[in-house]
Amino acid sequence: MTTPHRPTLRFAPSPNGYLHLGHAYSALQNERVAAKLGGQLLVRIENIDLDRCRRDYEAAIFEDLAWLGIIWQEPVRRQSEHFSDYACALEDLTGRGLLYPCFCSRSDIARKVNGSRDWPRDPDGGPLYPGTCKQMSADERAQRLAAGQHAALRIHMDEALSVAGMRLGWREYGEEDEPRDVTAEPALWGDAVIGRRDIPTSYHIAVVIDDHLQGITDVVRGQDLFNATSLHRLLQALLGLEAPNYRHHKLLRDKGGEKLSKSTRAKAIRSLRNEGVSPLELRRRLGFA
């Protein structure tokens, strides 16, 4: 745990591939803001996805960050070592009737919403949950769970909004350090999955718990997570956690306008390194001279 008031930032990659230019940009933004605030930078390894994350990618992350000249404080938090922290939060929310088990697979949901072309979608483009398991009787739930059926935990959005009560929002500084107040719109996500079926956590609950436990004051991350912040604010309010400031930065895109990612085969930092690009040159290319 860190002193709560010291500006504290985190770079939080998932070790499911090599870091690419988009990651370098995000790490450098974190470094820039940490320096500006006189704060410290932590690294968090977001490896809840045990099937996709690998130790060798993790080692490569540290190597690439060090090569780039990023300085971070130890210890590094590895999410896979903290499933019990996330499970506690899920239990708390479930006990308060704010989460319910859902047995639907993706294809069950797709089938259900298939007939309707105008089915509402969440900000990531997924169909809003049609509520199939919401009305299930307590008996049926208990029977299915006892039979060993796996369930995801979904948020009772209406309930949660009424418990969280007040208008939720956050202070957004963007990349330009121009603060503005953003109103959170968690309802856009419908009854989102907060505990996955395959693992006892989700990105959303893990990030909120970790930002709290690590004393994060400023979250610097890509614009692609801007809308997820609404859900994070709701979870923070439900769990009585303080909200950090947020600074969502632009995403680097390829020539076709696609955001750089593993799936678009973005160039890995280590390939550039092997081509003889120096850390300074890379920093310059990304606008951090």
Interface residues with ligand GLU (CB under 6 A) are 12-14, 46, 207, 221, 225
**Separation between Cα atoms, residue 2 and residue 180, nearest integer Å:** 27
Q: Is the peptide bond before 123 cis (omega within 30 degrees of 0)?
A: no
Q: Nearest approach, Cβ of 14 to ligand GLU (angstroms)?
A: 4
Closest residue to ligand GLU: CB criterion: 221
Nearer to ligand GLU, 90 or 231 (CB): 231
* Residue 77, φ and ψ in degrees, nearest 5: -95, 125
Q: Kindly state the smallest distance separating residue 237's Cβ from ligand GLU, in Å.
A: 18
Helix axes 203-213, 83-95, angle to 10 degrees: 110
Q: Where are the alpha helices (DSSP H) in 129-227?
A: 138-146, 157-164, 203-213
The DSSP secondary-structure symbol of 264 reads: T
Shortest Cβ 137–ligand GLU spacing (Å): 37
CB of 207 to ligand GLU, least distance (A): 5
Q: CA distances (Å), 93 to each of 194, 230, 235, 243, 277, in order? A: 10, 17, 9, 18, 49
- The nearer residue to ligand GLU, 214 or 272, going by C-beta atoms, is 214
* Alpha-carbon torsion angle 72, 73, 74, 78, nearest 10: -60
Nearer to ligand GLU, 109 or 219 (CB): 219
C-beta of 225 vs 277, nearer to ligand GLU = 225
Query: Can you read off the two tokens belonging to residue 14?
Result: 């998932």
Q: Measured from the CB of residue 220, what is the shortest distance to ligand GLU in angstroms?
A: 8
Nearest to ligand GLU of 109, 228 (CB atom): 228
- Residues 44 and 65: their CA atoms lie apart, in Å, by 13
